[in-house]
Amino acid sequence: MKKKLAVLGATGSIGKNTVDIIRQNPDDFEPVLFTGNTDREALLRLGREFPGVPLALSGGMGKAGVDGIAYYGKAGLLRAVAECGADIAVNGIAGSAGLEPSLAAIEAGCDVALANKETVVMAGPLVFERAGEKKVNILPVDSEHSAIFHLINAYGRENVDRVFLTASGGPFRTLSTEDLALVGVRDALAHPTWKMGAKISLDSATLANKGLEVIEACRLFNMEPEDITVLIHPQSIVHSMIRLRNNAVYAQLSQPDMRLPIQEALYRPETRPSPFGALDFRGLSLEFAEPDGERFPMLPLAYEAAKRGGLYPLVYNAANEIAAETFFREKIHFLDIARIVRYVMEKDWQGSCLNLETILKTDREARRIAFTLIGDI
Ligand code: NAD
Ligand code: MG
């Protein structure tokens, strides 16, 4: 039987890779929803390619149903997720906007293939509680977490005492702090190994992406931040590793192509041939180095947020989103991003993130405080 698939953020990088998998495997998947935000044309193109599949445009306006788009606005997006009848939703929405659609999918009894790491960073405890009650699976799609998920399933969580989370190091891996002060938007978007959306590309340049992933790993795999080691691995071939109590290390390696972790989540527990070639080890050299927290303070700040727990991870994410948007508008410098996040995290953010209202209220408050500092820069 075909799996019914909702593609949230279908017009983005993860979404396009997911649609590619649907195209390659028409006997296995039936799309039941495509969503986009402001990119109406790209969404309508998907509607023409897959006639009859409902479309939701969360950031646009129009008369639902009249122009080929069935749902409009944020409320429309959430309604679409609730009504689409999917077996599994791939959440490739960028940023904090992905949280409520993840929750809507869970409430609808739908498994979630989760690329949107913000869902876990902002509200991991709430999300896992709801998923447990609704008996749905949260399947990580972030390449590192997909790797760790499979390795842990193979070797048993109880045997794992360390996770090595690999990071490409981004486009500024070798720059000095003086040079980092001068980088611009275009430089930050030139990721060396992965082709991704703008926000995650910038986060890879600041290492905020790896910071978010440390928090994501803590919450997904129930680990302490001190049991997670980030390794700079410029080739992006080793997607992550686990170390067992006996000091044996197991790694997952492949070409850097997001279709693999997406496909793994969609076919789980089966494994299917991937659309790209096998690794050729001839001439391949794999390097690993320690990240530099002085040049890239977004990484130690994430560890701090993970250690403090509660609402700190959410605040780290919110402040970083505001800083990133402001950097994209060229109103602040690259090094200001971490300054803004540190400033917002200095406030007291103890509290439980089991309640959506508290989560959304704290998210707004953190953003407001980030703006007060930006106003002074
Ligand atoms: P992207 O910018 O390419 O695409 C984002 C998608 O989300 C688009 O379809 C856009 O229309 C939609 N969107 C944006 N803002 C929205 C809003 N406010 N409400 C509803 N929809 C909105 O981003 P991406 O690179 O595909 O990343 C998506 C998510 O996946 C992020 O959380 C990212 O961290 C994660 N991720 C991406 C990759 C990758 O290779 N691109 C790898 C790992 C994890
Ligand atoms: Mg990743």
Eight-class DSSP state of 270: -
Q: 249 φ, ψ to 5°?
A: -115, 135
Residue at 260 is within a domain: no
Q: Is the CB–ligand 1 distance for residue 92 below 6 Å?
A: yes
142 Cα: distance to centroid of ligand 2 (angstroms) = 5
CA angle (22, 28, 29) in 5-degree steps: 50
104/128 same-domain check: yes
Residue 377 has pLDDT above 90, yes or no: no
Pocket perturbation via mutation, ligand 1, pick of 191, 200, 320 by most ligand atoms within 8 A of CB: 200
66/129 same-domain check: yes
Eight-class DSSP state of 289: B
CA distances from 136 to 16, 50, 67, 126, 354 (A): 24, 27, 34, 14, 18
Q: Is the CB–ligand 1 distance for residue 115 below 6 Å?
A: yes
Pocket perturbation via mutation, ligand 1, pick of 196, 214, 276 by most ligand atoms within 8 A of CB: 196
When pLDDT is cut at 50, 70 and 90, the band that residue 375 belongs to is: confident
Question: How do residues 223-268 score in pLDDT, each as one tens digit?
Answer: 999 999 999 999 999 999 999 999 999 999 999 999 999 999 999 9
288/167 same-domain check: yes
Q: Is the CB–ligand 1 distance for residue 319 below 6 Å?
A: no
CATH of residue 338: 1.10.1740.10
Which of residues 63 and 348 earns the better pLDDT score? 348
pLDDT of res. 333 = 97
Question: How do residues 31-58 score in pLDDT, each as one tens digit?
Answer: 999 999 999 999 999 999 999 999 999 9
Residue 208 has pLDDT above 80, yes or no: yes
198 Cα: distance to centroid of ligand 1 (angstroms) = 9
pLDDT of res. 314 = 98
pTM equals 0.97
- Distance between CA atoms of residues 196 and 15, nearest Å: 11
Residue at 226 is within a domain: yes
- Distance between CA atoms of residues 163 and 115, nearest Å: 19
Q: Is the CB–ligand 1 distance for residue 14 below 6 Å?
A: yes
Question: How do residues 90-126 score in pLDDT, each as one tens digit?
Answer: 999 999 999 999 999 999 999 999 999 999 999 999 9
Question: How do residues 255-304 score in pLDDT, each as one tens digit?
Answer: 999 999 999 999 999 999 988 889 999 999 999 999 999 999 999 999 99
CA distances from 261 to 56, 106, 113, 375 (A): 25, 20, 9, 40
156/277 same-domain check: yes
Residue at 261 is within a domain: no
Question: How do residues 340-364 score in pLDDT, each as one tens digit?
Answer: 999 999 999 999 989 999 999 999 9
Secondary structure (DSSP) of 135-187: T--EEE-SHHHHHHHHHHHHH-GGGEEEEEEEE---TTTT--HHHHTT--HHH
- The rounded mean pLDDT for the chain is 96
The total of other beta-carbon atoms located within 10 Å of residue 290's CB is 9
Residue at 188 is within a domain: yes
Ligand nearest to the CA of 167: 2
pLDDT of res. 64 = 76
pLDDT of res. 191 = 81
Residue 65 has pLDDT above 80, yes or no: no
- Distance between CA atoms of residues 258 and 14, nearest Å: 7
Strand ranges inside the chain, DSSP E = 3-8, 29-36, 55-57, 71-72, 88-91, 111-114, 138-140, 160-167, 228-232, 238-244, 249-253
214/245 same-domain check: yes
Pocket perturbation via mutation, ligand 1, pick of 7, 8, 13, 203 by most ligand atoms within 8 A of CB: 13
Number of domains in the chain: 3
When pLDDT is cut at 50, 70 and 90, the band that residue 67 belongs to is: confident
207/278 same-domain check: yes
- Distance between CA atoms of residues 68 and 171, nearest Å: 40
Sheet containing strand 29-36, strands side by side: 71-72, 55-57, 29-36, 3-8, 88-91, 111-114, 138-140
228/340 same-domain check: no
Contact criterion met (CB below 8 Å) for 91 and 9: yes
Return the closest-CA partner of residue 68 out of 92, 37, 41.
41
CATH of residue 87: 3.40.50.720
Say what percent of the chain tops pLDDT 90.
93
Domain that holds residue 17: 3-140
174/124 same-domain check: no
Please give the number of the atom of ligand 1 that sits closest to the Cα of 95.
Answer: 32
Residue at 263 is within a domain: no
When pLDDT is cut at 50, 70 and 90, the band that residue 195 belongs to is: confident
119, 140, 161 - which closes a domain: 140
223/350 same-domain check: no
13 Cα: distance to centroid of ligand 1 (angstroms) = 7
Residue at 262 is within a domain: no
167/236 same-domain check: yes
Residue at 95 is within a domain: yes
Could you tell me which residues come within 8 angstroms of residue 368 by beta carbon, excluding any fewer than 6 positions away?
none
The total of other beta-carbon atoms located within 10 Å of residue 126's CB is 20
94/43 same-domain check: yes
180/209 same-domain check: yes
